[in-house]
């Protein structure tokens, strides 16, 4: 079946602009994650959604970052007033919450964000 998809694949923006990144999880996966991968650093957890529960926002680096998940499916990560240090690859992952692979997170291809 189809994997996790993300759009756009690349985004170039000017400092101070707002950006929205989109994630479509694997159909039927109720858990959804956002991570950030900066050059030379490991993947950094940002936020986690599980069903109708309140999201775990503990990884968001500042209040300029926010995310929502509509209808338990598509998620949007919004970065307001972008800064150059926000430049990174933003990865989305989804996970089934039942069965033998309930712990495995499956990643999308990422959105490469460049802030000029």
Partner 1 sequence: EDQVTQSPEALRLQEGESSSLNCSYTVSGLRGLFWYRQDPGKGPEFLFTLYSAGEEKEKERLKATLTKKESFLHITAPKPEDSATYLCAVQSMNYGGATNKLIFGTGTLLAVQP
* Contacts (Cβ under 8 Å, ≥6 apart) of 14: 82, 115, 116
CB of 49 to partner 1, least distance (A): 10
Q: How far is the CB of 88 from partner 1 (least distance, A)?
A: 13
Q: Does 48 bind partner 1 (CB under 8 A)?
A: yes
42 lines the binding site for partner 1 (CB under 8 A): yes
**Cα separations in angstroms, 72 against 24, 48, 50, 95, 114:** 10, 12, 8, 13, 29
Opening angle at CA 16, ends 10 and 17, nearest 5: 50
Closer residue to partner 1 (CB): 18 or 104: 104
Residue 107 binding partner 1, by CB under 8 A: yes
Catalog residues that contact partner 1 under the rule CB under 8 A.
4, 33, 35, 40-45, 48, 50, 56, 59, 91, 93, 101, 103-110
């Amino acid at each position: 079946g189809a994997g996790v998809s993300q759009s756009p694949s690349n985004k170039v923006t000017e400092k101070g602009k707002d950006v929205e990144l989109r994630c479509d999880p694997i159909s039927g996966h109720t858990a959804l994650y956002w991570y950030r991968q900066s050059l030379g650093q490991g993947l950094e957890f940002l936020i986690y959604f599980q069903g109708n529960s309140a999201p775990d926002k503990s990884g968001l680096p500042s209040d300029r970052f926010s995310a929502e998940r509509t209808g338990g499916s598509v998620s949007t990560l919004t970065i307001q007033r972008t800064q150059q240090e926000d430049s990174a690859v933003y990865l989305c992952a989804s996970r089934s919450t039942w069965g033998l692979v309930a712990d495995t997170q499956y990643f999308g291809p990422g959105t490469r964000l460049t802030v000029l």
